[in-house]
Amino acid sequence: MPQIVFDQVEKSYGSVRVLPPLDLSLNDGEFTVLVGPSGCGKSTTLRILAGLETLSGGEIFFDGAPIGALEPKERDIAMVFQDYALYPHMNIAKNMSFALRLQKAPKSEITEKVQRVADMLNIGHLLDRKPAELSGGQRQRVAMGRALVRDAGTFLFDEPLSNLDAKLRGKMRTELAEMRDTIDKNMVYVTHDQVEAMTLGDRIVVMNEGTIQQQGSPEELFKSPVNMFVAGFIGSPTMNFMDGALQQAESGLSVTGDGYTLPLTAEDAARLHNATSRDVVVGLRPSSFERNASLPGQVALKVVVAEYLGAQSVLVTHCGQQELLVEMQSAAPLKAGTTETFGIRTDEIMIFDKASGLRL
Amino acid sequence: MQTANVNRLTPYLFMAPALIVMAVALMYPIGYMIYASFLNWNPSQRIGEAEWVGFSNYINLLQDDAFRESLWVTLKFAAIVVTLEMIIGVGLALLLDRNIRGMSVLRTIFILPMMIAPIVVGLMWRYMYHPTVGIFNRTLKSLGLEPIPWLSDGSWAFTSVIIADIWQWTPFIFILSLAALQSLPRSALEASRIDGATPWQQVIYIKLPLMMPVLIVTLLLRLIDAFKVLEVILVMTNGGPGLSTEILSLRINRTAAEFRELGEAAAMSNYLLILLLLLTVAMYLYNKAVEARAARLRAAAGGDA
């Protein structure tokens, strides 16, 4: 299980640069999730790591040894593909044992390994079937099984759950989370789904347009995003952003904008005291609202739509001209069209620089 | 009730013209040929005057050394050209299945031979094989080597005919193989690279097995065509020297035109027809089997979902 280091890794197709120089290190035994919107370079990064794409510049090191020129098979990796990439003409046992058979492993060992992994994944009864005879979820398991049988040092997952329906995806996500704890390997997982990233990753690397925006634990990313992109990408429902301006009042620093004025905590005030720009963007998580008149921040919102989700409801509201999402317990239903006053936990307010998008 | 009956007949009414055309254009000549094969029929006679001889044309043919030789030449020719064309065509496709600059131009050039009229191909090769002014022998001579009797020696003539056919028809296999290769699932090939397959192992364990359905159909199509080859050989050797390149179509042509044995020519055509029919049935059965298997797989997957 090597430590993997990307050193100034670049990728271009002709004159199109998809990955500007990228530095990244993946620690031994960690479950790292690369997450970002489509086209952010996360899949390319994974494919470069797998050796399916060549490097246009820079180098990758496994435990200090450069591997950029090595063939995929020399890198001790196993990979699960988005479309499973099973061999359609081989049965499941043959699919899972392909790598071992190429290595000319003893027959008894192959049978034993395949059986053990198949039992672990509950596909033991399917070994004689062809991939076309399996449902999507079963194919997904076979793809996992094929990677596990290899017993490689590093596992790569390229959006492995995105072809499954919502219910099955949730189930497989849980199973993956269990697997993560039982298998002590490097795992690199690519997804565009921040829920998968949050639930699976020991460490999440948020990417956008080929560059790493931030990396850290799920909690770090949620609680202290470094910029508006990360703040908006992590968390569901997504964070509300409102234009505003910092204002020094007699009671302390506050931020004000269309339809609201919110006091900032002393801590924020001290940090923002020297902020060069007065034009900011206020970030508010939908979960920061509470129907509590004793909170320091109070704002009047016009409820436009109430989306009932069971225990929770998501309210789409208007604050002046801006749309705000508010997450509430469904117990006290609010009617659309009414204007209500909500309390805001001011210690959860995030202030971003309007020009650069960076957290202030 | 009556309207319903009329309605049910409507599709047949619409199909009737096509059916009649087909019966006249296709069934009539075939029926005529089958009927003729039971006659001792000379072109100077009207068909009604010809003597009914039953199966004697078929029996005579089986004992006729020239026919058996011709059948053997045809089988040998078809087997050799199709085997070599498959190997070269699939091999080329495997080699050229990559992003090369100008690949589309190259591909067009590759399939040009297929588009040339067979008569022209025959003439072209006949001039290239010409014993004194042909390019091959002039080249050999300029290299100080002995000229080769390309078309005048029996075994060389057979080889020459094979070379010309391979030149003309390998592109057919190449183009179909390339299409099959390019429709293979990319991710399965990438998975095999990660699983540690070398390029050779990829070809043997992944690419060829996945191309197999297309290859089998291509093979059968090519075989059917190879049995019917006529023009190129007619122009190049006209069956000679001796009977060395006299494939069945040529023999049929000569039996009818030179020997004036229309009944025997018809019987010969029927033997060829039976041979081709067997191949066609084989292809049909193969397609059926593939379809049945696909349906079974779909049903099985559906049941487990």
ipTM of predicted complex? 0.80
**Residue B276: exposure state from Cβ atoms within 10 A (0-12, 13-18, ≥19):** middle
Whole-number Å distance between alpha carbons of A24 and A9: 9
Reduce the DSSP state of residue A258 to 3 states and report it: coil
Contacts of A141 (CB under 8 A, 6+ apart): A121, A122, A123
For residue B301, the model assigns a pLDDT of: 65
Asked whether the predicted pLDDT for residue B99 surpasses 80, the reply is no
State both tokens at A207. 């990417």
| Residue A146, CA distances (Å) to A185, B207, B231 in order | 15, 19, 54
State CA A336 to chain mean position distance.
33
How far is residue A228 from each of residues A24, A211, A315, A345, A357, measured CA to CA in Å? 21, 15, 22, 19, 5
Residue A117, SS3? helix
Q: How far apart are CA A54 and CA A127, in angstroms?
A: 35
What is the percent of chain B with per-residue pLDDT over 90, rounded to a whole number?
Answer: 25
Taking alpha carbons only, the member of B170, B171, B209, B208 closest to residue B94 is: B208
A–B interface: beta-carbon pairs under 8 A: 77
Identify the CA nearest to A278 among candidates A313, A245, A254, A242: A245
Q: Are strands A211-216 and A203-208 parallel, antiparallel or unpaired?
A: antiparallel
Q: CB–CB of A10/A56 below 8 Å?
A: yes
Q: Are A306 and A335 spatial neighbours (Cβ–Cβ below 8 Å)?
A: yes
* Cβ contact A34:A188 at 8 Å: yes
Residue type, B180: A
Provide the pLDDT for residue B174. 93
Nearest to A73 among B193, B205, B212 (CB): B193
- Contact present, A259 and A319 (Cβ < 8 Å): yes
- Say what the pLDDT of residue B82 is: 95
Out of A78, A82, A103, the one facing B194 most closely (by C-beta) is: A78
Chain B contacts of A134, Cβ < 8 Å?
Answer: 301, 304
Q: Which residues in chain A touch residue B201, judged by CB atoms under 8 angstroms apart?
A: 102
CA dihedral B19, B25, B29, B32 (to 10 degrees): 50
The closest of A211, A195, A198, A200 to A80, measured between CA atoms, is A200
Cβ(A342)–Cβ(A289) below 8 Å = yes
Across chain B, what does the average pLDDT equal?
Answer: 86
B-chain residue closest to A94, CA distance? B205
- Map out the domains of chain B as residue ranges: 66-260
Cα separation, A222 vs A235, whole angstroms: 7
Distance from CA of A285 to the nearest CA of B (A): 39
Let me know how long chain A is: 360
User: Is B190's CB within 8 Å of A81's CB?
Assistant: yes
**Class level of CATH domain B66-260:** mainly alpha
pLDDT at A267: 82
- Among B89, B78, B90, smallest CA distance to B248 is for B78
User: CA–CA separation, B224 vs A330, rounded Å?
Assistant: 73
Amino acid letter, residue A244: G
When pLDDT is cut at 50, 70 and 90, the band that residue B305 belongs to is very low
How confident is the model at residue A34, as a pLDDT? Answer: 92
Backbone angles phi, psi at A247, to 5 degrees: -140, 130
- In this prediction, residue B1 carries a pLDDT of 54
A234/B contact by beta carbon, under 8 A: no
CB < 8 Å to B190, chain A: 50, 52, 81, 85
Residue of chain B whose alpha carbon sits nearest to that of A149: B195
B301 contacts in chain A (CB < 8 Å): 132-135
Where chain A has pLDDT below 50, the residues are: none
Structure tokens at B237: 């050797």
Check whether the bond before A131 is cis (ω within 30° of 0).
Answer: no
- Tokens standing for residue A258: 């269309």
Give yes or no for residue B14 having a pLDDT over 70: yes
**Which of A185, A160, A20 lies closest to A86, judged by CA?**
A160
Give CATH for domain A4-227. Answer: 3.40.50.300
Residue B304 pLDDT level (bands cut at 50, 70, 90): very low
User: Which pLDDT value is given to residue B2?
Assistant: 66
Q: What is the pLDDT of residues B221-244, one digit of tens each?
A: 899 889 888 888 888 888 778 778
CA distances from A10 to A22, A40, A52 (A): 6, 13, 14
Q: Omega into B241 within 30° of 0, i.e. cis?
A: yes
Domain topology for A240-353: OB fold (Dihydrolipoamide Acetyltransferase, E2P) (2.40.50)
Residue of A nearest to B212 (CA): A89
Q: Which residue of A has its CA nearest to B209?
A: A89
How many H helices and E strands in chain B? 14, 2
> DSSP H helical segments within B144-261, as ranges?
154-182, 186-194, 199-201, 208-227, 231-236, 248-257
Does A133 sit within 8 Å of B297, measured CB to CB?
A: yes
Locate B25 and state its tokens: 């254009």
pLDDT tops 90 at residue B88: yes
Q: What does the angle CA A323 – CA A324 – CA A325 come to, to the nearest 5 degrees?
A: 130
Whether residue A133 contacts residue B297, with contact meaning beta carbons closer than 8 Å, is answered with: yes
Q: Do B191 and A89 touch (CB under 8 A)?
A: no
* Mutation target among B183, B186, B189, B194 for the A interface, most CBs of A within 10 A: B194
Looking at chain A, which runs of residues are DSSP E strands? Answer: 4-13, 16-26, 31-35, 57-62, 65-66, 77-80, 154-158, 186-191, 203-208, 211-216, 240-249, 252-257, 260-263, 279-284, 289-290, 297-308, 312-319, 322-329, 339-344, 350-353
> Which pLDDT tens digit goes with each residue over A196-232?
899 888 899 999 888 899 999 999 999 999 999 999 9
Residue of B nearest to A87 (CA): B188
Q: Tell me the residues of chain A between 82 and 101 that have a Cβ less than 8 Å away from chain B.
A: 82-89, 98-99
Give the domain ranges of chain A. 4-227, 240-353
Contacts of A72 in chain B (CB under 8 A): 193-194, 196
Nearest CB partner across the interface for B187, out of A81, A133, A138 = A81
> Half-sphere exposure of residue B286, counting CA atoms within 13 Å on the CB side?
16
Q: Which of B194, B196, B206 sits opposite A87 (nearest CB)?
A: B206
Instruction: Tell whether B131 is within 8 A of chain A (Cβ).
Output: no
Interface of A with B in 18-77 (CB under 8 A): 50-52, 71-73, 77
